[in-house]
Structure 1
């Protein structure tokens, strides 16, 4: 299950999806409208402009960037590329990895490394021992992790990658939410991808620029890996809408800076408000918050206020009572807290 199921509910405020609270930049919205005028043409099969502009940001070759119809398509292509016999996943974490592994490699043995609640679901060094023992063919990591929003400490991530490089384990590092933490420049592996033999970095325009309906993501890796992944993708997998919107998004770094400021302020405000209501709130570095409460039907009760949140009970490692909320504009955050307070007070 994922967030964003607005099609079966009457929703005014969707806190279940973790997209940029500033919404779609106006220039990107305009380009999407303009793209409709080109709908009678095939898109560029090589994504030439988009690839050139994206590669320039990370000082890469265009051939070291692979584009997909959202990061989800790339995850499936990666799983088809390597058809692993043994994969390792964190729990709780994004369920899409398991979905793609079981689809591409149905006989794969999936090993779960459970994050502990007493550690606030932070990744710890005991993962290193598990990697040594299990020797997986592929490891999926998410930084910041979903649903709790914590970044992986840089020193630990470096140790994990070093060990996996020694063992020949492919490491997929999902950075789709990293830009919105404000720590992209210091923590992203994409800027040094040539230092790694078996690392694939996943990124997406979806969250950063609030365009989940457009579907555009990309992977960054060595050219040999990129070439292999491309063989498992369909031709023309990006629409002309995705190509034009993506190229425009890359021009608006000031939008990202303002977004990070709003997210940081909103996270502080929303975390404090949820704690004041008596909930257990887990620390986050990102644009969403994981919390726990005794109200087992909080999601259903909030639907009466036309508010949608993410029930996290279907995440491996979590149970009923865990919820995730996105950080939105201040008036929306206020509305969420007000609705929850009404529920708590009965």
Structure 2
């Protein structure tokens, strides 16, 4: 069996149609462990809200609210901050790009490995990226002193971080992150903090702190946790003056009426959120035990995904392809994570039945490797 060509490997998770076409497998037969989406269906409250909205033709015939007042109010209540501290767009990337331009960021420290869109967005905004390689033996934890020293050495006026970190899922506790933010403020350095997966550890969020620290900008995702990524909603929290300047750099009507209605409903569904966190914890614990049995190394994760490290004799690109062809299971190739050593794959935490299927597949492929 030949290796998958490097230019074919999907740049992101969730690219099932591309993979199905490449390997001539019906897309509905593929089980997606490559995208870190809640494996549950969207909340029933969201589906009911969308049905009611579609019953009113004005939902489609009228323009969305230019100010997104209802959506910002819902986000404000969920995050315990003022609506004037919030800006919304149809995803993280346009918000990051607008923030980079509005804050006058010229050189940014980028701890790696990290989400590939970070570097791409920095470069598209004309910002120089200074990579900072993270320790990889046992975790990918952020060390505030090391990050600040690196930022000063590289003459950066910003640091771009993810907490929990991607691709490892490692968490930097809020108190440690606060120490970094305060130290960075003394040096005139902005901290751009992506909290896309903080919903799994909400007590560690610094979203509220972003309204109190002039040098902190927090980015939040809504749709991954609530299993509605097709609706594309993200928001950023900062000081009112920063938000006002950022908004001027975003196009009008950045979020559709349907997406706004769905997110407003999702944010009120506390039962769904609590159930998601509980089930994810149980399923992840089971997966960790099974992966250890297969002698696959994992890293500490506070999210709904796990980064796997295989022994040197395992060809992970071949394993990735065999899992698709023999078991119709799509893992996340980590080949495009800058600064990540070879031998890694990432998996999402899915349902009990799907997780069992994953372990059986890995066991069989590794036995023949």
Alignment TM-score, normalising by the size of structure 1: 0.94
SS class of match (1:123): coil
Deviates more, 1:131-140 or 1:314-323: 131-140
- Structure 1 stretch displaced more, 89-98 or 129-138: 129-138
Q: Deviations over 1:92-136 (max 9, x none)?
A: 11111111111111xx32111111112422222422321332341
Residue 31 (str. 1) matches residue 53 (str. 2): no
In the alignment, which of 52, 71, 89 is matched to residue 110 of structure 2?
89
Say yes or no: does 1:7 pair with 2:17.
yes
Q: Give the aligned partner of residue 193 of structure 2.
A: 173
Tell me whether 1:239 sits opposite 2:251 in the alignment.
Answer: no
Contact 1:83 1:104 (C-alpha < 8 Å) held by counterparts: no
Q: Quick check: 1:111 aligned with 2:127? A: no
The separation in 2 between residues aligned to 1:126 and 1:326, in whole angstroms, is: 30
Correspondent of 1:126 among 146, 152, 161: 146
Q: 1:309 aligns with which of 331, 334, 343?
A: 331
Provide the aligned C-alpha RMSD in A: 1.5
Contact 2:158 2:189 in 1 (8 A): yes
SS at match of 2:94: helix
Q: Give 1:153's aligned residue.
A: 173
TM-fit CA distance, 1:83: 4.5
CA contact (8 A) 2:151 2:157 kept: no
Q: CA deviation at 1:204?
A: 1.1
The structure 2 residue matched to 1:16, chosen from 25, 34, 37, is 34
SS in 2 for 1:325: strand
Aligned residue-pair number:
341
C-alpha displacement of 1:33:
3.5
Match of 1:144 among 152, 161, 164: 164
1:250-265 equivalences in 2 (<5 Å): 250-265=267-282
Unaligned runs of 5+ in 2: 1-10, 21-26
The residue aligned with 1:75 is: 96
Shift of 1:202: 0.6
1:340 corresponds in structure 2 to 362
Question: 1: CA distance between counterparts of 2:154 and 2:31?
Answer: 43
Distance in 1 separating the partners of 2:182 and 2:153: 15
2:183 — aligned with what? 163
Equivalent-residue separation in structure 2 for 1:192 and 1:110 (angstroms): 26
Q: Distance in 2 between matches of 1:295 and 1:97?
A: 28
Change (3 A) 1:331 1:251: same
Give me the whole-angstrom Cα distance separating, in 1, the residues matched to 2:99 and 2:157: 12
Please tell me whether the aligned partners of residues 64 and 223 of structure 1 are also in contact (alpha carbons under 8 angstroms): yes
Match of 2:170, SS state, is coil
Per-residue displacement from partner, 1:28-67 (whole Å, max 9, x unpaired)? 1232334334211111111111111211233322111100
Alignment of 1:286 onto 2:303: yes
| Structure 1: gaps (5+ residues) | none
Match of 1:327 among 342, 349, 352: 349
CA drift of 1:344 comes to 1.3
- How far apart in 1 are the matches of 2:159 and 2:133? 14
Check conservation: 2:85, 2:211, Cα contact below 8 A.
Answer: no
